[in-house]
Each structure stands twice: as structure tokens, then as C-alpha cells.
Amino acid sequence: MNKKTHELIARLAVAKRPVKILFVCLGNICRSPAAEGIMQALVDEKGLSAHFVIDSAGTGNYHIGDLPDHRMRIHARRRGIELTHICRQVRESDFDNFDLVIAMDVSNERDLRRIAPTIEAEDKIVQMADFISMATKYDYIPDPYYEGAEGFELVLDLLQDACANLLRRLMA
Ligand code: 4NP
């Protein structure tokens, strides 16, 4: 994790609650709604719902109004997580409404930096892979859209690992 991300998370860990987190990918039908569902389930499980606001959005506009991809919903359900997010696009006001804007890959990050209205807004953007602790060759969350079942399972493994670490850091 780079120093900037480390400092931001440390600052939020002691900040006034709730901490508001927005997960962002391209379509907002696979990776980011899965991250949202996983993080919300973790927070609920630990009785911490009052401490967090969790949402997701996409940089693209292809699937606005849709439920998450049916394959992602099936794979998540097998892990006990129901994905019910309705797809929406990232907007400039998200940078006012959230403390942490978490990109799934560098292309999401690049798009987010274009949308961010100020330098302070840009400072809220971090990479989800910064929170991965499991052994993996991935330093980003790979897009599973054109992949098979293994692609979805891999994304869920990476996201469950990263969400657990993110929550641990924010509660430290
Ligand atoms: P996501 O996956 O960014 O993880 O939601 C994608 C879903 C749809 C498309 C691309 C990526 N698409 O091009 O429609």
C-alpha cells in the first residue's frame, strides 16, 4: 500500500463515523456491486452497520437501472451474499458524498480522476488491490465480464480478502 493510501485510511479510522465508501468499476454490474455486497455483509455480520455507508457505481453507462450480472449474482449467492444493487453511473457529487472512492483497476482510476472536480476529490481515490493480502499475481481486480466461472470466483476471492482487510484497517 502506498503512503498516501495508508495515511488516508489511518485518518478515516479515527474520523467521525459513518465512513462512506463508494466502490467503482466500469459496468457496475460485476466487480463493484460484488464489493459493495461483500463489504455490507461483513459490516452487518460484525454489528457495524451504523459506522458505514456503502455503495457502488460504474464509470460507464451501459447498464444503468440493471441488477448485477446474473453470473455474479449466482456466484455471490453461493457464498451467502445477495446482490441487489441497481446499476448507476458515477457522478461528480459522489466525491462530496463519499470519503473513499475505491477503483477496481487502473482504467477505472483514470476515469475517476477525470470526473473528480478538485484535488481534494482526487485524493479520495484508491485502488482496491491495495487491500489484497492473499497470495496472487493480481495487482488489480480483473474484469470477469468475458470470462468463465473461474473469473467470477477469482474476483469474489480477491474482493472477500480485500474487504476484510479494508474493514480491519478502518476499525483499527
Ligand atoms: P464490471 O464488468 O466493470 O466489473 O461491472 C463489466 C460489465 C459490463 C461491461 C464491462 C465490464 N460492458 O462492457 O458492458
Chain mean pLDDT for the chain: 97
* pLDDT tens by residue, 84-133: 999 999 999 999 999 999 999 999 999 999 999 999 999 999 999 999 99
The angle subtended at Cα 36 by Cα 54 and Cα 25, nearest 5°, is 110
| Residue 86 CA to its chain's centroid (Å) | 15
Quickly state the pLDDT bin for 151 (edges 50, 70, 90).
very high
Whether residue 172 is predicted with pLDDT greater than 90 in this model: the reply is no
Q: How far is the CA of 171 from the centre of ligand 1 (A)?
A: 31
Active-site residue, from 55, 105, 130, 143: 143
Query: Which residues are near ligand 1 (CB < 6 Å)?
Result: 25-31, 62, 143, 145
Closest ligand 1 atom to the C-alpha of 25?
3
Quickly state the pLDDT bin for 1 (edges 50, 70, 90).
confident
If you take atom 6 of ligand 1, which residue's CA is the nearest one? 27
Q: What's this model's pTM, rounded to 2 decimal places?
A: 0.97
C-alpha separations of 48 from 85, 98, 124, 170 in Å:
20, 18, 22, 11
The end-to-end CA distance of the chain, in Å, is 16
Closest ligand 1 atom to the C-alpha of 34?
4
Half-sphere exposure of 25 (CA within 13 A, CB side): 25
d(CA 141, CA 159): 8
Q: What letter does residue 30 receive in the DSSP assignment?
A: S
